[in-house]
Structure 1
């Protein structure tokens, strides 16, 4: 098998074409996946991507401001790619999927190129890149249209690393260094996790540059650290749209206790190791309650970490691949660990998009070192079987994304307590004109929302009531949505339409005043309000 890989990797164009064939083949059934869930706020309902006059707003407002919503994400380059796609082909799902899959394939190829430069080992580089390409854990980042943030940021991050490597060679040109910095900026504009790059460069230098010194590494990476610091400070100040240091809108034991977040991450780590090694039962919106004691999962993770640490220290002088591989894994996973900043969830599969490269680099290196040249046939059989298993699992798992109803019902097989999933399932039923099923799903979401922090289920329940002609019930739910989230603009519009149609002007006025306060430049709302002020009071 090694000789075959060497032949394939000698001609890089041939290898790229092979990656293209494999990538498009295993993701072929994702082309029919429609826009749904986060796609609606990021793309379908986002007016900012549909008109170039809003271009400055892509860089000055939050990710979903164009849909009239508030988010603590700022990803202008991601929105720019959506805008380009929209202006080229409209809301053509096939094109959006083509771009996402293409980015993923290019990333796999760049991973091969970079590892080949660092390791000088074609076989290992090829296997890591191929597993990255076909592993089903990548589906959230590739099949989901708005998952593009992951392939996009990684594209520029990998380009930055590649250009950095070219700049530090004996005959390297300074222009490559500047282009590397520009690629880093582009990566930061695509997704927040790109901020890890300066630390990755330090790990890379220590692992593969035999002539590295503290001074030389400092001088070469200081510009990257400065850019990362500027980005971080900007996100804390002028680009802090919500609460960047706490993605939760409420306090909980997870938010308040760093120890709980560490214990929880240890459990998550064990789940991640399992999903990477033997992917099964893959789904979004995993329900993982915070861990408040040193339970068996945490103890197991600590034991694994001790073994990893021993392996790194024991082999550091002779083989730094373990140091680099596991270093890449944990550094790339750190922003999503929740330990430093409580983020929007505890566990997501797409958070492994880059970390998995480090994981498989280290694991395959360990296997290669243990086996050496023994059991060649058995090893080849095992690797081929494993690769086929990954590819088949990816194809099978993609079918769970074929339509929103299938997708959300699949999640509910494993997680019955997600407010968002029940709400989105209701929306899917409503789109299919199955209103009774939609109402049941929305009511389930509302029942799960014990602390009344989610406005969308009430808004969507109101829409379903309205579609069935139940106007009074709809009014009550629209008002509840506004009470929960006064910025939920959709409920204002629908509630006002009902009030104005019914001539209930006295009830419409305070709603109009609230809406105008939220959108001072909304001249239509101002004109309606002024008209109502002039009407004689009944």
Structure 2
């Protein structure tokens, strides 16, 4: 078999194996339902108002990441509201990313380890890509549908790097073709997630460590557009971001941000090397003093990484590049202030550094001039064992992702002092009608931070379902107290709290208070039928049939399919002896609610 044919055959086999391994390893992710932000970004949009054609007219929350939104819209066109369809989309992108890592490694090995056989280069490249594929730290990005932003920007950024390497290597007429498409891929990466702006720094490192061979001079002019594009994008969107303003409005001292993130960097390195005790919502406390042990640990790790770069810079470019790759891809988190210091899905792209590390180790021990026997094969054997262990850890982590209560229960154990994890687990238990468990978690959340209206609202719902109306009324009141604005009507804590307090007041015989609350809800937002219907019930109970009829009609005017208002209106007509009109109303209700 010729070298050319061997290369083609082994390359095709590697890509097929990567795709197959990905789908086998992550097969249980296809059973994972929509979770957390998926319910907001995807499930709530999965209706007649969702799809590619509608997306281009109204990008909504995806205005800053249009390609991410487009991928979800396209996914919906294919699989509708099936979570499995969206998970398949994530698996395809993850498989493509692993394949792109294979091709990038293969190209870079050709420039630095020319003595390796074609088959050895492909095996080394495949091993690096496979290590990334099975790494447990990638589980969150791959399994969590909303984590697709990390998958997507990684795919386009890797493609941009691969095409830029081809541009640097090519001397013929295709040279500028590769350059142009490298730029386009970079723009696509930015349109998937803004952190892709690190691409030019990655390219400079690639050039410096792999492409400056045979006395080739350093030429960074082609890199300049890669710097200008994100600056222009930011200026077009929001110039204040150039000043270092937080994208999500987080206010935090920049020194505190830097010291805390240096510790987070150290912990992230540990997770890359030893991916155990993974946590969907890690809890980091602000580091406010340089004598904090966390900051000291972070400085030691950072110093060690920088020293390692200088120590092995001439011995193994892959190992040096793996360290720099991680530092470059992590660096935006040092300065960009976000509500959370770190999330494991944000480490998806930095995780690629392990692929370069594995390739560097295997390439060094596979060279023709290396020792034979144990020294030659022990690294490969160790890496094989680690791949098997990591695969088992990934399968174990996937079990936790099978439902919302499993993932939040796991997270509560690992971040017991964090408000959000208790609040979210309580909300999940409420949805599952596990009311005692929900009460326990929501009270823990309130004990940590009492100023979130949504948590008080959930607790009120729990008490209502447990028949504890007095406690429910108090918690609805707390929801109104801490909800300082009228929120989204689709999930209106403010509006619904007023409605539910009115219902409790009516049940307790306080009709005037109930009337006041329902009337206030109508003044707040008169587009919805519930308050009109409930106010009509109060008037009907007080014997004022005229006002009761008016309010039921107003409810039906807001929602002609609101069956409860039809029944109540028919009841008014029956009480007034208008039986024919009542019969007509009951006919209508059957048309809107056949069952």
Coarse TM-score class (shorter-chain normalised): 0.7 to 0.9
Cross-structure match for 1:66: none
Cross-structure match for 1:309: 306
Cross-structure match for 1:293: 290
Checking the alignment, whether the CA contact within 8 Å between 1:9 and 1:15 is kept in structure 2 is no
1:245 aligns with 2:245: yes
Checking the alignment, whether the CA contact within 8 Å between 1:326 and 1:358 is kept in structure 2 is yes
Deviates more, 1:196-205 or 1:108-117: 196-205
Cross-structure match for 1:520: none
SS state of the match for residue 340, structure 2? coil
Per-residue CA deviations over 1:93-123 (Å, capped at 9, x if unaligned) read 1111111111101100101101111122334
Checking the alignment, whether the CA contact within 8 Å between 2:250 and 2:337 is kept in structure 1 is no
Cross-structure match for 1:68: none
Structure number with greater Rg is 2
* 1:129 Cα deviation after fit: 0.8
Residues 8 and 302 from structure 1, CA distance in 2 versus in 1: closer, same or farther, beyond 3 angstroms? farther
Compute the RMSD of aligned alpha carbons: 3.2
Structure 1 residues 368-517: aligned runs within 5 Å: 369=364, 372-373=370-371, 374-449=374-449, 452=451, 454-467=452-465, 470=469, 472-473=473-474, 475-483=476-484, 486-489=486-489, 490=491, 491-495=493-497, 497-498=499-500, 503-504=515-516, 505-512=518-525
Residues 495 and 309 from structure 1, CA distance in 2 versus in 1: closer, same or farther, beyond 3 angstroms? closer
Structure of higher RCO (CA pairs closer than 8 Å, 6+ residues apart): 1
* 1:175 Cα deviation after fit: 2.6
Residues 46 and 334 from structure 1, CA distance in 2 versus in 1: closer, same or farther, beyond 3 angstroms? farther
* 1:221 Cα deviation after fit: 1.4
Equivalent-residue separation in structure 1 for 2:379 and 2:316 (angstroms): 22
Equivalent-residue separation in structure 1 for 2:8 and 2:466 (angstroms): 61
Cross-structure match for 1:30: 29
Equivalent-residue separation in structure 2 for 1:283 and 1:9 (angstroms): 41
Deviates more, 1:347-356 or 1:357-366: 357-366
1:80 aligns with 2:81: no
Checking the alignment, whether the CA contact within 8 Å between 2:281 and 2:343 is kept in structure 1 is yes
Cross-structure match for 2:340: 345
SS state of the match for residue 105, structure 1? helix
Equivalent-residue separation in structure 2 for 1:332 and 1:165 (angstroms): 19
* 1:440 Cα deviation after fit: 2.8
Structure 1 residues 106-255: aligned runs within 5 Å: 106-120=96-110, 121-168=121-168, 169-171=170-172, 172-210=174-212, 213-214=217-218, 216-218=219-221, 220-237=222-239, 245-246=245-246, 251=251, 255=252
Checking the alignment, whether the CA contact within 8 Å between 2:408 and 2:424 is kept in structure 1 is yes
* 1:315 Cα deviation after fit: 4.0
Checking the alignment, whether the CA contact within 8 Å between 2:161 and 2:182 is kept in structure 1 is yes
Equivalent-residue separation in structure 2 for 1:514 and 1:499 (angstroms): 19
- 1:99 aligned residue (89, 95, 98): 89
* 1:233 Cα deviation after fit: 2.2
Q: Which runs of 5+ in 2 are unaligned?
A: 111-120, 504-513, 529-553, 559-595
Cross-structure match for 2:261: 265
Q: TM-score, normalised by structure 1?
A: 0.82
Equivalent-residue separation in structure 1 for 2:527 and 2:417 (angstroms): 33
Equivalent-residue separation in structure 1 for 2:362 and 2:16 (angstroms): 28
Residues 199 and 57 from structure 1, CA distance in 2 versus in 1: closer, same or farther, beyond 3 angstroms? farther
